[in-house]
Chains A and B, each alone.
Chain A
Amino acid sequence: MSGTSLGMPAFPRAAAVSTGDSRLRANLTHATHTIRDKRARAVAELDDWAQLRAAGAAVKDRTLRHLDHYLERLEESVVAAGGRVHWAADAEEANRIVTRLVRETGEREVVKVKSMATQEIGLNEALAEAGIRAYETDLAELIVQLGDDLPSHILVPAIHRNRSEIRDIFLREMGSWGRPAPEGLSDSPAELAEAARLHLREKFLTAKVGISGANFMVAESGTLVVVESEGNGRMCLTLPETLISVVGIEKTVPTWQDLEIFLQLLPRSSTAERMNPYTTTWTGTTDGDGPRTFHLVLLDNGRTDTLADTVGRQALRCIRCSACLNVCPVYERAGGHAYGSPYPGPIGAILTPQLRGIEGSLEASLPYASSLCGACYEVCPVAIDIPEVLVHLRERVVEGGPVTRRGTRTVLKPARGHAAERAAMRAAAWAFDHPGALRGGMRLASRTRRLHPRRLPGPGRAWSDSRELPAVAAESFRDWWRRTRGEQRPDGASGEGRGGVR
């Protein structure tokens, strides 16, 4: 399995394949609508949602604006609590560090908690090259791994698989990875989950090394937080002797108290629950309880480049809840694989081109994989203005301009050899060929559109020329903010650093 998605086709080509798959579309429509409706109910329970959302955005922004300070605090606290901290500038360095750490334990097998950061860097493949087998333990990730497949949704990575396909994968593959599936396994979800329980318990009880990501890292205390449902996370975080956590630097929050915001925002936005079944927090190591050795690998891999872009920076607020996927008319039709990275949907459309650079044809096409309807912004619990970043990135693709690559500022030439522009045009054409994707979006369109340019630059112009921007009655987050907080920006910044770009 390639895992790292290198060599993935550009969005329009991949989307054309997936939109032709009617079963995939039916699965996705069912899933996204179900989660979307549940989420709306869970959010409606809290009448201070808008305030929580504003506070979440403000805390994340403030942390990003002083990220060097908070990372140094974090390192100090983790070390003081008995952990070891490593810094990785890119995927290769992170993989090298983790491989070395696993080798030092003398082990050849590791158990893994679902983690997008380790997918992003292709860790499983790097470990395999070093002769180390990594077992995914989240049920959906297990299905993806056994099926030699790629995840397609942040929250439910195997949403593109039906129960009968899952049964076939288990019967065919489990035996070569460990305990085989029970004979006569049916395709009932309960039996399938039981088969996974038995298969993975063997691994949990013997594993000496666990690898995880983290949802949050608290700078002042050095605490890491993992939020999950199944208990596989707790298994990997507490049973092995060595724990290695690979975490993007943007997951830092300053204080213990800040968790009161995010532990309310995340479960309701993500699984639409008041609280997810399990949350584990740990601070370094604890004598006699849990791993004896704890390593934290802090991952850059394009995050500092994203930080350098004052418009795109807000993408680093993302808490990976997946709410934006479930409301996106383009994601619903294209499916997660079309985005060519572990980050699908609207967040993937702005994060992947920023982490990797927009020079590649997939990356150049992603900012066009959207109808700019604004629904993603309305549901985002940390108020990332995804449409704003999409428009900004489209402009970069077509007109070029200043960007930062691997820490070095450079000026990007417009549409090199017109390749990028062609990619963008194909994406725009794809959207036109799928009027449902546009219409679905337009119905949800909100007045946030008012603040976007009425005409888009480059190939987007044709798109914006043909559309009138509708207004809807419901008060948007931005309107609420303006009404209650004056003209301040929702992200708490006073506006510097974002003007002058367009």
Chain B
Amino acid sequence: MSGRDVVLARIRRALADVPRGEGPSDPPVARDYLRVHGSRTAGQDVELLAENLADYRAIVHRSGPDGLPALIGRLLAERGARSVVVPPGLDPGWLAAAEVTRVPDLAPSTARELDAVDSVVTGCALAIAETGTLVLDAGPDQGRRRITLVPDHHICVVRVPGQVVGSVPEALPRLAPDRPLTWISGPSATSDIELDRVEGVHGPRTLEVVLLAAG
């Protein structure tokens, strides 16, 4: 017998107490937990998102469309970034004021090449206010998962209020499980040494979030 047959047969024997008539979706699960905690306007969701992001030591900025290129240019310059990896679908205007080498996000480039790049600029799929979380789904303005992992500095632009949801239960229906997802809540961190929190063990040590209001 294959491992598969062995395990499935064991399971069926182990579940002899389950009545034959009971279907896989029985008994029903009471989903009487809240869809969202508290009631907030869209604007209040954005405020809460900013607060929770900052609480997790992300650096939060706000901008309108006109000020965005200058803001991104300044953030990159302040970090001394000389190169930035750019997802294929990123609005080229966002980097119009940045004096940096643009490194395209290409499948054949190696992780080592990516390691030599200073920063990355992306959009996101959505952001969750209650938890201070950015979700990336590898869409055209976000690129492959690794580009927001290997460079040490990540600037993520969130369109507000359109891309902001209140809670985790509100987020999942808007995300497609067949896309690879990366949920980011603050920069990489560890508390493994005497519970002292240290930022940036392996992922980017600096996470900057730009809340981009519609023009």
Does B bind A?
Answer: yes
On A, residues with C-beta under 8 Å from B are 27, 30-31, 34-35, 45-48, 51-52, 54-55, 58-59, 62, 65-72, 81, 86-89, 93, 97, 137-140, 143, 156-159, 162-163, 166, 189-190, 192-193, 196-197, 200-201, 204-206, 218, 221, 223, 229-232, 234-235, 238-239, 249, 254, 256-257, 259-261, 263-264, 267, 271, 273-283, 286, 288-290, 298, 300, 304-305, 307-308, 310, 404, 407, 409, 485, 492-494, 496-497
Contact of A87 among B2, B132, B195 (CB under 8 A): B2
A234 touching B29 by the CB < 8 A rule?
Answer: no
| A280 CB contact (under 8 Å) in B9, B17, B30, B145 | B145
Return the chain B residue nearest A187 by Cβ. Answer: B193
Contact assessment for B188 and A87 in the assembled complex, using a CB-CB cutoff below 8 Å: no
Contact B188 A277 (CB under 8 A): yes
Say whether B8 contacts A68, CB under 8 Å. Answer: yes
Of B18, B30, B107, the contact of A288 (CB 8 Å cutoff):
B107
Q: What are some 21 contacts across the A-B interface (CB < 8 A)?
A: A35-B195, A52-B33, A54-B30, A58-B27, A88-B7, A158-B193, A193-B190, A204-B111, A221-B177, A229-B190, A234-B149, A235-B202, A259-B172, A260-B168, A275-B128, A275-B131, A279-B183, A281-B181, A283-B177, A289-B145, A493-B27
**Contact yes or no, B22 A65, CB < 8 A:** yes
Contacts of A55 in B (CB 8 A): 29-33
Residue contact B185 to A189, C-beta cutoff 8 Å: no
Set of chain A residues within 8 Å of B34, measured between Cβ atoms:
46-48, 51
Min CB–CB distance B161 → chain A (angstroms): 20
In the complex, A143→B194 CA distance in Å?
12
The answer to whether B33 and A261 have CB atoms under 8 Å apart is yes
Q: Indicate with 1 or 0, residue by residue over B28-60, a CB within 8 angstroms of chain A CB atoms.
A: 011111100100000000000000100010000
Expressed in whole angstroms, the Cα–Cα distance for A65 and B173 within the complex equals 26
Q: Which residues of B contact A70 (CB under 8 A)?
A: 24
**Shortest distance from the beta carbon of A487 to any chain B beta carbon, whole Å:** 15
Note all chain B residues with C-beta closer than 8 A to A290: 144-146, 180
Q: Is the CB of A67 within 8 A of B11?
A: yes
Would you call B14 and A308 a contact (CB within 8 A)?
A: yes
Q: Cα distance A65–B189 when bound, in Å?
A: 38
Q: Which of A31, A139, A277, A407 contacts B56 (CB 8 A)?
A: A277
Least distance between A291 CB and chain B CB atoms (Å): 10
Nearest residue in B to A306 (C-beta to C-beta)? B14
> Would A278 and B203 be within 8 Å (CB), given that A235-B149, A239-B146, A288-B144 are in contact?
yes
B196 contacts the other chain (Cβ, under 8 Å)? Answer: yes
User: Closest CB of chain A to B151's CB: distance in Å?
Assistant: 12
B179 contacts across to A, CB distance below 8 A: 283, 286
Interchain CA distance A254-B27 in the complex, whole Å: 13
Neighbouring A residues of B8 by C-beta, 8 Å: 68, 71-72
Residue of B nearest to A85 (CB): B4
Q: CB-CB < 8 A to B173: which residues of A?
A: 257
Decide yes or no: A304 and B111 within 8 Å by CB, A259-B172, A286-B180, A496-B17 being known contacts: no
Name the B residues within 8 Å of A232 (CB-CB). 201-202
Q: Which of chain B's residues has its CB closest to A232's CB?
A: B202
Q: Mark B1-26, 1 if CB is under 8 A from A, else 0.
A: 01110111111111101110011111
Residue B66 is within 8 A (CB to CB) of chain A in the complex: no
B201 adjacent to A89 (CB under 8 Å) = no
Contact A47-B24, Cβ < 8 Å, known A55-B30, A304-B7, A304-B10: no
CA of A263 to CA of B130, assembled, Å: 12
How far, in angstroms, from A205 to B130 measured CA to CA in the complex?
A: 35
Q: Which chain B positions have C-beta within 8 A of A276?
A: 185
B192 lies within 8 A of A158 (CB): yes
Contacts of B149 in A (CB 8 A): 231, 234-235, 238
